[in-house]
């Protein structure tokens, strides 16, 4: 069975962070491992506090898993500090890791910082060039590309700018656009559009959807899929989870397994 590693924060709700990542890995037929970058105090509506682990501790977490198991792909989410960004970058180089997916988590939906200012700059210089795919949402893409994004045209431009920082593939997530949610993948040569349907649901149902999409994409790479195919499957998985969450929030339960 293929294995994927999530390097991300711990969300006690289980709807984001390492728990959501491992759920997605499992649903996509991949064994999941996790290295925690920070503990958080949060519910589905907001983040109350963040307590990062030290860079040394994070490095030891990752090395122990790599030495004990080996992995076929890595998903990186919330890193919290510049020191943790540096630590992850060093381990990736040291171990020669492949199939790296970076979900650029800069802040929570409510605006709580999840990566310090120095961390953003270090991420751009040291971590982003090591990645197979980078998956920013509109706000994160705006920061990385240093432009304001209002629609698909700006998303394409931002993807090219971010690719210029060294990422092999850039998937700009358009879930916050008005109208149908469109994600745009730039593979260094051209653009691929992944269109979806706008799902009407409580705001809380969308908690952690960026984590889910990037981790499902990571699982696809672990299974040998192309970036384009993995992104397509990840979008379908994310939409399915949102619909199942609506059932859960209305009192019904769900058990998502083997979706693909």
Superfamily of domain 3-249 in CATH is Ribokinase (3.40.1190.20)
> Which residues fall within 8 angstroms of residue 204, CB to CB, at 6 or more apart?
44, 45, 249
Beta strands in the chain (DSSP E): 3-10, 31-42, 47-52, 73-76, 100-102, 133-134, 169-172, 182-186, 191-195
What pTM was computed for the model? 0.92
Would you state the structure tokens that stand for residue 117, as one six-digit string?
Answer: 């200012």
Domain segments of the chain: what residues? 3-249
**Tens of each residue's pLDDT in the chain, 260 residues:** 999 999 999 999 998 999 999 999 999 999 999 999 999 999 888 899 999 999 999 999 999 999 999 999 999 999 999 999 999 999 999 999 999 999 999 988 777 899 999 999 999 999 999 999 999 999 999 999 999 998 899 999 999 999 999 999 999 998 767 777 799 999 999 999 998 777 676 667 677 788 999 999 999 999 999 999 999 999 999 888 888 888 777 765 544 444 44
CA dihedral 80, 82, 83, 84 (to 10 degrees): 40
> Which residues fall within 8 angstroms of residue 72, CB to CB, at 6 or more apart?
2, 3, 4, 30, 99, 221, 222, 223
């Amino acid at each position: 069975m293929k294995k994927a590693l999530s390097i991300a924060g711990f969300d006690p709700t289980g709807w984001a962070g390492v728990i959501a990542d491992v759920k997605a890995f499992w649903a996509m037929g991949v064994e999941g491992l996790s290295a925690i970058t920070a503990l958080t105090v949060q519910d589905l509506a907001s983040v109350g506090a963040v307590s990062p682990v030290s860079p040394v501790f994070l490095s030891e977490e990752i090395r122990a898993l790599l030495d004990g198991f080996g992995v076929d792909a890595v998903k990186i989410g919330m890193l919290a500090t510049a020191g943790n960004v540096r630590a992850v970058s060093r381990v990736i180089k040291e171990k020669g890791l492949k199939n790296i997916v970076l979900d650029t988590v800069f802040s929570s939906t409510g605006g709580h910082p999840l990566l310090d200012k120095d961390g953003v700059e270090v991420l751009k210089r040291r971590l982003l060039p090591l990645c197979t795919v980078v998956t920013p949402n509109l706000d994160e893409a705006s920061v990385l590309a240093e432009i304001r994004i209002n629609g698909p045209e700006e998303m394409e431009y931002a993807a090219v700018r971010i690719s210029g920082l060294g990422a092999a593939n850039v998937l700009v997530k358009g879930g916050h656009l008005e109208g149908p949610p469109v994600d745009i993948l730039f593979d260094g040569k051209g653009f691929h559009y992944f269109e979806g349907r706008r799902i009407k649901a409580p705001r809380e149902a969308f908690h952690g959807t960026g984590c889910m999409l990037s981790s499902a994409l990571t699982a696809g790479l672990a299974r040998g899929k192309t970036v384009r195919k993995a992104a397509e499957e990840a979008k379908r998985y994310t939409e399915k989870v949102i619909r199942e969450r609506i059932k859960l929030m209305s009192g019904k339960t769900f058990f998502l397994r083997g979706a693909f």
